[in-house]
Amino acid sequence: MGRLGWDLNSKTLEHTRIRDNLQSITQLPYIIFCSGMSRSASSWSYKTCLTLERLRTPENKIDCGYLNEADTLADAYVSTKMKSGYNALIYFSHVINKRALRMILCGIAKNVYTYRDPRDSIASIMRKEGCKYGPAFDFVHSSLLLFNLFAADQYSLLLPFPETLKDPLGTTAKIANYLDYDLSREQIEKVHLKTQRLTIDRRKRQRRKSAYSALDIEIIDHGLEVLEGEPTDAPGVNNPWRYSTLNKNQYADATKRLRNWLIKMNFPTSPVPPWGKN
């Protein structure tokens, strides 16, 4: 009789814990992480998610921002904000911390992961940050390990950079659908036009800082002008520095070591760089 009573009490406690866990999950804010490789339109995806969320959530009920990958308190920060009465949390980071990763992989949090040719990403980091090839490669490689997880978890939305650049309006619609919106084409266009302008302004500021001469600035300003036309048009970006930071040996090395990812992502696997084919 005592044994039976112990079993019943154990099951009751177990059911109580399950009920409490379910209740705590339903009380969580709507959580969105915008991750991805460096220079892959991850900042644009963050601005798009934030613009969309503002359509249904008051500004003072949203906590958002960039989680610095060097910040060891990022997990604690997210945990605190989850209990702070916000309706939505939207964070942008190139490195997903342990707590955030668990929430993504079990479907508690949404995750928009953007990616591009990893050799482009390496070159962009070297150019922007002024770092050497090795650290830039390692940083991109860590993001590719996340790609493996997110490609298999069925909860994340993966967005290739070429697709975003070619069809930003369609990509905006994909993000809206992923975040449980039912918007008209006109509403999608308004969101896209707003985030397009924000992205262009941000790029101009960033590239002006990295310019070496007045000619560089002229190229930047000209290349980042918005084309006249339909809302589906992408801004014309003339980026003469796409590969210029990588030498031929570095390009070949990255191609060899990242071949499996290049195949998965449908990028060229030739070790000969584009500028070396002429």
> What are the mean pLDDT values of the chain's consecutive 10-residue runs (278 residues total)?
42 47 64 90 90 93 83 78 92 86 91 93 85 94 93 92 86 94 89 72 55 54 42 40 73 96 94 73
* Inter-CA distances, 119 with 9, 129, 144, 184, 204, Å: 59, 15, 12, 37, 22
Query: Does residue 276 lie in a domain region?
Result: no
Residue at 195: amino acid letter:
T
The residue among 107, 199, 196 whose CA lies nearest residue 155 is 107
- pTM, two decimal places: 0.76
- Residue 76 CA to residue 88 CA, distance in Å, equals 17
Question: What count of residues does the chain have?
Answer: 278
Question: In total, how many domains does the chain have?
Answer: 1
Query: Does residue 13 lie in a domain region?
Result: no
Q: pLDDT at position 137, please?
A: 96
Q: Which helix (H) or strand (E) holds 62?
A: strand 62-66
Q: pLDDT at position 6, please?
A: 37
CATH number of the domain encompassing residue 179: 3.40.50.300
Q: pLDDT at position 205, please?
A: 56
Q: How many of the other CB atoms lie within 10 Å of CB of 231?
A: 16
Q: How many of the other CB atoms lie within 10 Å of CB of 178?
A: 18
Query: Does residue 180 lie in a domain region?
Result: yes
Query: Does residue 259 lie in a domain region?
Result: yes
Range of the domain at 229: 29-268
Q: Which two structure tokens, joined as six digits, stand for 9?
A: 């009490």
CB neighbour list of residue 81: distance below 8 Å, 6 or more residues apart = 29, 63, 89
Residue at 39: amino acid letter:
R
The residue among 247, 271, 277, 243 whose CA lies nearest residue 120 is 243
Query: Does residue 12 lie in a domain region?
Result: no
Q: Which helix (H) or strand (E) holds 262?
A: helix 259-264
- Residue 192 CA to residue 57 CA, distance in Å, equals 18
Query: Does residue 2 lie in a domain region?
Result: no
Q: pLDDT at position 146, please?
A: 92
CB 169 within 8 A of CB 189: yes
Query: Does residue 185 lie in a domain region?
Result: yes
